[in-house]
Structures are given as C-alpha cells and as structure tokens.
Amino acid sequence: MQAKINGITMRFDLAGKAQAPVVILVHGFPFDLSLWKAQVAALKKDFRVLSYDLRGMGKSGLGPAPQPLEAYVDDLFALMDHLGLKQAGAAGLSMGGYIVLRAMQREPSRFWALALCDTRADADSDEGRLKRAAGIKAVREKGVAAFVKGMLPNLLCKQKSPAATALLKMMLSSNADGVANALAAMAARTDSTASLKDIKIPALVVTGDQDALMPPLIAKGLALKIKASEFVEIPDAGHVSNLENPVAFNKAFLAFLRKAASRT
C-alpha cells in the first residue's frame, strides 16, 4: 500500500484486526519493511501491525536533502494521522529506535509502549560523525553495493544464512541518495538520553548478544534509565536481532506487548 505524505510516496503495510491495539514497526538503516516479516506474522493475531519503508529506503520516495532525523519523525506522525491512528505501541530497530525515541520525546501521548531494539539514546561522537562523512563519500563514489557489502560483517553474527541473504537484498535495493541522506541525519541527530527518565509507558529494550554496533552493555544502560523497562538479550544474534533469531525475539516481544496492552 502507498500513502502520499510530506511530499513523498510512502510504502506501508497494515496487517491484523482493525479494532486491535496498533503496533508500529520502524526499521533500521538501510533496510525496508520486510525486515519485520517474522514479527508481522507473529503479532497480527493480537495486534494491528503497521510497517513502512523510511524515506529514501525500500520503495518509499526520497524527498529533498537535507533531511534531518526530524523529517523521519514527521513522516511517522504523518503516516499515523493519514491512517487515523491516534495511539500506537512503537518498535524501532537501531535507526528506527532513534526515530521512535525522538517521536516519544515530541509527542509522548501518541504511544502506549516502546520496544527499543539494538539501539541507543545518545548522539554520535565526533569519531562517529567523521565515519558517517566517510560513508557519504563512499556511497557517492563507489555506489550502494560496495557500501552495504562493507556493512554486512557488523550487522549479523552469521555471514552465510537466509537472514544474511534477506538483509543484503534489502540493502542492495537502497537508493544512494537515500543512504547518504540517512547518514547525514544520523550524524546530526540529537541526544535523547535526558528524556529517558520521562518515559512512563512500558518499554522493552532488546539486543542481540553479539551485537557489534550496540553491544549489550549499551542496551543495558539504556534500559536502566527507563523506569518501566525490561531488558532482554537475544541469544545467537548480532545487530539485526529480530531477523537473526526471530523465535527468541518474537517470544520476548509478544509477551511484552500483550502485557503492556492489557494495562492500557
């Protein structure tokens, strides 16, 4: 399905029962909505599940540069408004987590639960920003394929698996400008750490036990700063823990969402 929002065409998928509590799934960089295939299948019996392609990724439109992280947050709210969704549980993986945390900071009343997956609240260090700048240069000079192939070893703990094939397919279909825009947005994003103490809704913090980008220590630190949070480490999984170990991920995710929904 497609929606015209904020001047771009956005691809989304809405599954599950119309009257059920809504859960929005926000993918990481540079993936697409198919990242959540196993989660949509597991959740749709109990929830109305919205997944979508971030601008400049998958089959969503690009939009003009520069587009700070705020533009991705604007898209999330605009898509909710377009579909008449007043409130949702939101899950974000990595860059999706940055978007969800910032959305929570801007309009906390729109959310009834948060799942922060393989993500962090703080902003990039100067070293991180310089790596993003090198990434922008690399994707412009060498193209998407060379850039995303270089990312793969840091994303998964097993390099040869159906998960690796699926992830590479998503990344290879990314648009070079979409990748460059997202890198610039992440480099310039604000630090959400100070707002974590204000989160009053249930939160699940999940991370792969072998996440090389957001190691469990970072995720544990994030969970400790949120009052009503649970922390779960997903075994045999790297940075994209929902894709690498969907069984363990879905068990924790579904149990958390059912409990949180019963309280709303």
Contacts with ligand MLT, residue ranges (CB under 6 A): 28-29, 94-95, 186, 213
Q: Among 200, 202, 29, 173, which residue's Cα sits nearest to residue 115?
A: 202
Query: C-beta of 220: minimal distance to ligand MLT in Å?
Result: 18
Indicate the residue among 226 and 243 with the shorter CB distance to ligand MLT. Answer: 243
DSSP string, 20-85: SPEEEEE--TT--GGGGHHHHHHHTTTSEEEEEPPTTSTTS---PSP--HHHHHHHHHHHHHHTT-
Cβ at position 40, least distance to ligand MLT in Å: 19
Question: Given the complex with ligand MLT, which of 213 and 261 has the nearer CB atom?
Answer: 213
Q: Estimate the crossing angle of helix 126-142 against helix 176-187, to 10 degrees.
A: 170
CB of 76 to ligand MLT, least distance (A): 15
- Report, in Å, the least distance between residue 242 CB and ligand MLT: 11
Q: How far is the CB of 98 from ligand MLT (least distance, A)?
A: 7
How far is residue 63's CA from residue 65's CA, in Å, rounded to a whole number?
7
CA 206, 209, 155, 126: dihedral to nearest 10 degrees? 80
Peptide bond preceding 30 in cis form (omega within 30 of 0): yes
Name the amino acid, one letter, at 110: R
Q: What is the DSSP letter of 94?
A: T
27 vs 48 by CB, closer to ligand MLT: 27
The conformation of residue 198, written as its DSSP 8-state character, comes to G
Nearest distance from residue 31's CB to ligand MLT, in Å? 7
Q: Which is nearer to ligand MLT, 49 or 54 (CB)?
A: 54
C-beta of 83 vs 183, nearer to ligand MLT: 183
Rounded distance between C-alpha atoms, residue 83 and residue 14, angstroms:
10
Q: Nearest-CA neighbor of 36 among 114, 119, 110, 117?
A: 117
Instruction: Report the candidate in 31, 37, 145 with the shortest Cα–Cα distance to residue 93.
Output: 31
Within 13 Å, how many C-alpha atoms sit on residue 17's CB side? 8
CB of 8 to ligand MLT, least distance (A): 19
Give the residue with the Cβ less far from ligand MLT, 21 or 241.
241
Whichever of 33 and 186 has its CB closer to ligand MLT, that residue is 186
